[in-house]
Amino acid sequence: MAEEIKPGSVPESSSKSPLLIILMIVNIVAMGTVAFFQWRFMQMEASRPDLTQLLKEQNAPKTSNEAVGEQVPGEVVKKENLLPLDSFTVNLAQGEGPRRYVRLDAVLKMSEDAKTPEFEARKPQIRDTIISILNTKRAEDLLKKEGKSYLKEEIKASINSFMVDGRVEDIYYISFQIN
């Protein structure tokens, strides 16, 4: 009939297989590896300086002990180099769906050798160039950060192609709305 199981003996079906032991060892090693990398990441984060500390150091006045040739990162923009443009409302290229347009307010940062009279004389040409560029863009292209950056570069290159004295170094969007 039924076989008797003696106390203290282990049936054959419950004995540990070598595959189960290997899997447990691999699991323990994997968990240890994950724990090690988490510990390293936390050490790196703890050693990274605080943002407020970096800002204080950057804005602190230089002492005489610091190197004379050392430059403080940052950009000094003079008001004379900033030339505001009037607001733009431009139809975008027709894509699928309803007609879309963009409203844009921008300021041009000109180089040091730029002359305001030339900018004022070329303002209609600059506006025409920007409108022409915006007319070729679709809303999907401009909604992405890369699209806005590419638009800046394209506008800078177009304006710099006809400027005689000075050039556009950067463009700052004051407002950028797509409807």
Q: Given pLDDT bands bounded at 50, 70 and 90, which one contains residue 154?
A: very high
* Residue 39: predicted pLDDT: 92
Average pLDDT of the chain to the nearest whole number: 80
Give the pTM. Answer: 0.55
* Residue 145: predicted pLDDT: 85
Share of the chain above pLDDT 70, in %: 76
Question: Which residues have CB under 8 Å from 167's CB, separation 6+?
Answer: 110, 111, 114, 159, 160
Please write the tens of the pLDDT for every residue from 88-123. 899 888 877 788 889 999 998 888 887 778 888 888
Phi-psi region of 166 (alpha: psi -120 to 50; beta: other; left: phi over 0): left
Report the distance separating Cα 107 and Cα 112, nearest Å.
15
Average pLDDT of span 67-79 = 54
The separation between the first and the last C-alpha atoms of the chain, rounded to the nearest angstrom, is 85
